[in-house]
């Protein structure tokens, strides 16, 4: 496929690839606790291609392993001087099922002097883990290093309470579709409150995704949600702009 070929080219000449960072905000005081790294691809002919279009191709072709390593390397370089608690990086289930994944992550962190506890891996359970043992070995290895885990897009797809328990993730990221229903759908408010209560009961932190209005922000804070993320607070921005933002705040 053309996209596969173009993605290989982008990986060999990575000027086309860029990592953007979206601030993660403490609900209690509005301060920045971290960032989520989001990959961007500026195709020389087609322009910007969204991850939803190329990540699945990268997963099918195995290129996701190189792409993920490239993102993590870039994150280590970009965030070196950023005084924040965590940098969240999306990890594909394809990466987690690769026998060498944890060792590769460990090597990149070590080579770049990035403390493992600063890294939070966001996992989306888009499908059942086919190679559950390899997956569990990677997670155990990474946990031992101090890497944290977040369950992304929680409440949609395949995430289940059973999986939640076995992953021992530190954080639940509440899918933005529930936040979008605030004000029009009482059911969505009840679901988010239930997720926050559930997370608190099992000692997990919560992040609400897709916060676009001050009403949503205030309601989520009142519900006891720990962390907020969304266009109201900031769009994902290039590293250079994040540095300006951090300087302005300090
Ligand atoms: O940035 P945007 O909202 O377009 O991202 C869409 C999806 O792409 C998100 O669900 C996000 O998890 C995924 N994504 C973005 N960057 C990465 C990445 O570096 N690795 C993986 N595996 N997924 C990513
Ligand atoms: O699935 P994941 O949570 O990794 O997806 C993150 C994606 O959500 C990013 O691509 C980012 O651009 C997008 N995003 C972040 N904030 C908002 C928001 O407030 N509204 C919407 N619609 N999308 C958002
Ligand atoms: Mn995510
Ligand atoms: Na995701």
Number of domains in the chain: 1
Predicted pLDDT of residue 218: 97
Q: Three-class SS of residue 44?
A: coil
Rounded Cα distance, 84 and 75, in Å: 13
We report the CATH number of the domain holding residue 135 as: 3.20.20.450
Q: How far, CA to CA in Å, does 56 sit from each of 4, 62, 92, 121, 204?
A: 10, 10, 10, 18, 29
Residue from 7, 19, 39 whose mutation best tests the ligand 1 pocket (most atoms within 8 A of CB): 39
Mean of the pLDDT values across residues 84-90? 96
* Cα–ligand 2 centroid distance for 22 (angstroms): 9
Q: Name the more confident of 164 and 74.
A: 74
139: its two tokens: 């997670």
The mean pLDDT value of the chain amounts to 93
Predicted pLDDT of residue 126: 63
* Cα–ligand 1 centroid distance for 55 (angstroms): 7
Range of the domain at 176: 2-249
CA angle 208, 171, 202 (to 5 degrees): 110
Predicted pLDDT of residue 1: 66
pLDDT tens for residues 138-154? 999 999 999 999 999 98
Rounded Cα distance, 175 and 151, in Å: 10
Q: How far, CA to CA in Å, does 244 sit from each of 82, 239, 250?
A: 11, 9, 10
Q: What is the pTM of this model?
A: 0.96
140 contacts: CB under 8 Å, gap ≥ 6: none
> What lines the ligand 1 site, CB under 6 Å?
38-39, 50-52, 55, 68, 71, 90, 92
Rounded Cα distance, 109 and 111, in Å: 6
Torsion of CA 63, 66, 67, 68, to 10 degrees: 120
Q: Three-class SS of residue 200?
A: helix
């Amino acid at each position: 496929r053309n996209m596969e070929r173009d993605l290989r080219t982008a990986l060999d000449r990575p000027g086309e690839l860029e990592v953007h960072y979206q601030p993660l905000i403490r609900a209690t005081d509005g301060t920045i606790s971290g960032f989520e790294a989001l990959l961007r691809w500026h195709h020389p002919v087609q322009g910007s291609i969204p991850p939803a279009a190329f990540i699945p191709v990268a997963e099918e072709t195995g290129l996701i392993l190189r792409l993920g390593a490239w993102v993590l390397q870039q994150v280590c370089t970009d965030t070196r001087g950023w005084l924040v608690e965590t940098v969240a990086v999306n990890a594909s289930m394809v990466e987690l099922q690769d026998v060498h994944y944890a060792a590769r992550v460990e090597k990149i962190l070590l080579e770049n002097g990035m403390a493992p506890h600063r890294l939070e891996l966001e996992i989306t359970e888009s499908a059942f883990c086919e190679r559950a043992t390899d997956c569990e070995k990677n997670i155990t290895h990474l946990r031992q290093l101090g890497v944290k885990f977040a369950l992304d897009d929680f409440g949609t797809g395949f995430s289940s309470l059973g999986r939640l328990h076995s992953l021992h993730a530190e954080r639940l990221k509440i899918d933005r579709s529930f936040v979008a229903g605030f004000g029009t759908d009482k059911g969505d408010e009840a679901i988010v409150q239930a997720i926050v209560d559930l997370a608190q009961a099992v000692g997990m932190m919560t992040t609400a995704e897709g916060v676009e209005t001050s009403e949503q922000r205030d309601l989520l804070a009142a519900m006891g949600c720990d962390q907020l993320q969304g266009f109201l607070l900031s769009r994902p921005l290039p590293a250079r702009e994040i540095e300006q933002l951090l300087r302005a705040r300090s």
